[in-house]
Amino acid sequence: MEVYLLLRGLIHYKHPNLAFIYFNPINDSEIPTYSNFILFDEIIHDFMTNTTPNLRVKYYPIYIWWRLTSVIPIRPIEFIEILNEGIRYEAKEDAYYILIPRRKKSPDPINKSKHAAIQHELKISKEMYNIIGNFRKLAKLECGKYLFPTSFYRKFLTRENLSIRYLHYTEHMNWQQMTTLLDRFFDEVVNSQYDIEVVQTRDELDRENEHKTIKRFNLGDTRHMSICMMMMQGFSELTIAQMAGHNNIRTQSHYSSHIDDFQRSYSGLLEKSILQKMNLDDQSGFGSFTFRQKQLLSYSNSDNSKARKISFGYCHSKNFPNECFSKDCIFCNKFQIDLSNLSENEIKVLNNRITKIQDEIQVKLNFIKKYYSTAFKKKTDAINSNVSDMKELERNAINLNILMNQEVMMKTHLKKQKEI
């Protein structure tokens, strides 16, 4: 049940903003930044929508890798070995499943108490199921054994990289072939078609112009960000271990060390994305927001002639205060901010509220970091039985989501006000 809720939660937050994307905390200089993840997501979605049929088939495995492994922490070796028959629809449950070909690991004889029962078959969204189905139909691979057969992709890879010929032949694409395909995507698409410089290390990135450079990805980068996505959503370390295929819960405890940096990057980039989409009257950038929050960000030209004038704008409630959604009017769905008439003092008050929200965010982040950083000390039985700790983790994660959205909303209000 928890695994199902996890997937449902991750699918809700994942697109289109790539909310809660994280980067590998092991070696910062070798992995992409959060802004690179956002940039890559924008590119690959635009490319798959507008490219030619031949190139769409060629790079479809990269698209599936991006969409699937950024939500489910699959190892690259497991991803390339996915079987066609391992992707199924269960009519009785109206649910979609994918079988992950986990690499078998023996339990640690010293740390048996921390052993996690690895999940092999996981639920996926209908959208992900259809993406895979469209690929198989387009590439005419419905009847093959593997989702990514070598026989099909040899025509794309062997002439581009002669070293592929000397690799051990398998029925499915091997790690080197999938890596080569990803490298070709960066060279042929990201660099050549989108005119973005591809660099090898984070030190080479143009920090002042985030959309001009991107660090080359490794296949394992999405696995790390999906593990941290789960942490930001407040799922137990046992569930994360089961989903990630870790046979020991301490394996993922170190990912919590960079949550602060991740949160700041997430807020800043989501703010930028929303501002861009607001100018186009497009709400597709508000994927992780509630309906009420989307209303607040719409900035429609409401008729305020019959509304109640209050600080920062107008209250449109006809049954005040019984319709109040929030103690803070600016987060209420009956409130319409008046950006064109904000006083200097009101702008100062809004900035102070942002600071207060950021302080509250830090409290939630500190709790989540402390929880996961001490995860390796717990025994599996203690995790399952300590209901109060888990509920507190869930409460902090939920509140963190609310606070981060509020922070972005407030900043967006002020950024939009400067444009008027």
DSSP string, 208-250: TSTTTEEEPP-TTHHHHHHHHHHHHTT--HHHHHHHHT-SBGG
- Side-chain half-sphere of 183: how many Cα atoms within 13 Å? 11
Alpha-carbon distance of 152 to 173, in angstroms, equals: 9
What is the dihedral sign for C-alpha 96, 98, 285, 237? positive
Read off the pLDDT of each residue in 383-396 and give the average, rounded to a whole number.
77
pLDDT tens digit sequence for 114-158: 455 556 788 888 999 999 999 999 988 878 899 999 887 877 765
% of the chain residues with pLDDT over 90: 26
Under the banding of pLDDT at 50, 70 and 90, the label for residue 405 is: confident
What are the DSSP calls for 288-308, one per residue? Answer: TS-HHHHHHTS------TTSE
Under the banding of pLDDT at 50, 70 and 90, the label for residue 166 is: very low
Whether the predicted model's global pTM rises above the 0.85 cut: no
H or E stretch covering 79: helix 76-79
Domain ranges of the chain: 2-252, 266-419
- Token pair belonging to 234: 């407040």
Mean of the per-residue pLDDT values for the chain? Answer: 76
H or E stretch covering 314: strand 313-315
- Token pair belonging to 214: 């991107």
Residue with tokens 């798959």: 48
Is residue 202 scored above 80 in pLDDT? yes
Read off the pLDDT of each residue in 156-174 and give the average, rounded to a whole number.
63
What is the dihedral sign for C-alpha 398, 404, 405, 406? positive
Q: How many helices (H) and strands (E) does the chain have?
A: 14, 8
- Supply the CATH classification number for the domain 2-252: 1.10.443.10
**Strand runs labelled E in 330-375:** 335-337
In this predicted structure, what is the pLDDT of residue 411?
Answer: 87
Is residue 178 scored above 60 in pLDDT? yes
Q: At what angle do helices 221-232 and 344-373 cross, to 10 degrees?
A: 110
% of the chain residues with pLDDT over 70: 70
Among 341, 331, 324, residue whose Cα is nearest residue 409: 331
H or E stretch covering 88: strand 87-90
Question: Strands 308-310, 87-90: parallel, antiparallel or unpaired by DSSP?
Answer: unpaired
**The residue type at 19:** A
90, β-bridge pairs: 95
Question: Strands 213-215, 95-99: parallel, antiparallel or unpaired by DSSP?
Answer: unpaired
